[in-house]
């Protein structure tokens, strides 16, 4: 069989994406209705001069469910547990280590409680709750500015920061080194730290892309989510600058009516 070219592959991906976007029209109307019911939006049948009361039963039920759900999933117990393939000590140890590692990743997420609270709430309100857990590299930059150093102080600072950088694996760049008329020195250092790891994020139901007739993500030709990315963010991820310039600006394909429902009422799920 001939190897698929990049153009052929891209064509197949685009076809699968178009089909998934079309498929979303089969489940998004229900999700819009469910979100509207939760937020207590007008149902469209109101008559001027008559009662405009909107039932809050859905939000009341969700609100009463959340404490027990949060306690069950986010309490002191293990969130998940790996089972060993056998009673062999090595398999048991490996399973326990994996359980502790995953537990550590989940518990130590920034805003961990809110992430999983919102996920569980989405499960209550919508037809599905979706978590995305990519491996990300996040860079943070710090500038250290030193003024009026003598030569020995400057040498000590540079040496110490280089030793620290070697131990903690961060980058150091001398962006300014200037000798003053009084024989002192000004020094400016740029420190770049790269944090790598799993980042857990909530995905709104309207961002979901899944192939038609798929029973789960495992048997779907395409499974993912749609999002808008800025060129600056893509450049930070080392995408080719010239190729990015050639990509035209595109409009969002996400169902904007869900956003209008969420924020048009002044509420937010």
Residues 200-237 pLDDT 10s: 999 999 999 999 888 888 888 899 988 887 887 777 77
The span from the first CA to the last CA of the chain, in angstroms, equals 50
**Residue 208 burial (10 A CB sphere; 0-12, 13-18, 19+):** buried
Q: Which residue has the higher pLDDT, 230 or 20?
A: 20
CA 38, 44, 47, 53: dihedral to nearest 10 degrees?
0
Pairwise CA distance, residues 260 & 129, whole Å: 19
CA-CA distance, 144 to 148, in Å (whole number)?
14
What is the pLDDT confidence band of residue 267, given thresholds at 50, 70 and 90? very low
Q: Mean pLDDT throughout 249-262?
A: 73
In sequence order, what are the residues at sequence separation of 6 or more whose Cβ sits closer than 8 angstroms to the Cβ of residue 195?
A: 137, 138, 139, 140
User: What is the model's pLDDT at position 78?
Assistant: 79
Confidence category of residue 254, pLDDT binned at 50, 70, 90:
low
Averaged pLDDT for residues 3-7: 85
Q: Where are the alpha helices (DSSP H) in 75-145?
A: 89-107, 112-125
Place of tokens 């994996």: 98
Q: What is the pTM of this model?
A: 0.71
74-127 pLDDT, tens per residue?
777 778 889 999 999 999 999 999 999 988 888 888 888 889 899 999 999 999
Q: Mean pLDDT over all residues of the chain?
A: 86
Beta strand 135-149 pairing with 171-179: unpaired
Nearest-angstrom CA–CA distance, 34 and 31: 5
């Amino acid at each position: 069989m001939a190897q698929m070219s990049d153009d052929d592959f891209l064509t197949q991906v685009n076809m699968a994406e178009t089909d998934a976007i079309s498929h979303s029209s089969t489940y998004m109307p229900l999700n819009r209705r469910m979100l509207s019911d939760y937020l207590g939006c007008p149902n469209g049948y109101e008559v001027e001069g008559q009662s405009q009361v909107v039932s809050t039963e859905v939000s009341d039920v969700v609100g009463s469910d959340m404490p027990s759900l949060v306690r069950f999933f986010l309490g002191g117990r293990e969130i998940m547990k790996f089972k060993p393939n056998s009673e062999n000590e090595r398999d048991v140890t490996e399973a326990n280590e994996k359980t502790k590692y995953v537990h550590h990743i989940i518990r130590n997420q920034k805003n961990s409680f809110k992430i999983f609270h919102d996920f569980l709430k989405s499960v209550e309100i919508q037809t599905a709750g979706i978590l995305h857990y990519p491996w990300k590299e996040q860079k943070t930059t710090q500038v250290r500015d030193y003024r009026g150093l003598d030569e020995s102080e400057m040498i000590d600072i540079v040496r110490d920061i280089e030793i620290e950088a070697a131990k903690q694996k961060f980058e150091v760049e001398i962006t300014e080194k200037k000798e003053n008329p009084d024989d002192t020195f000004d020094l400016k250092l740029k420190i770049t730290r790269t944090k790598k790891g799993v980042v857990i994020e909530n995905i709104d139901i309207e961002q979901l892309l899944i192939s038609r007739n798929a029973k789960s993500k495992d048997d779907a030709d395409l499974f993912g989510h749609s999002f808008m990315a800025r060129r600056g963010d893509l450049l930070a991820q080392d995408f080719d600058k010239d190729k990015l310039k050639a990509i035209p600006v595109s409009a969002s394909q996400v169902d904007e009516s869900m956003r209008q429902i969420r924020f048009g009422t002044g509420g937010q799920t």
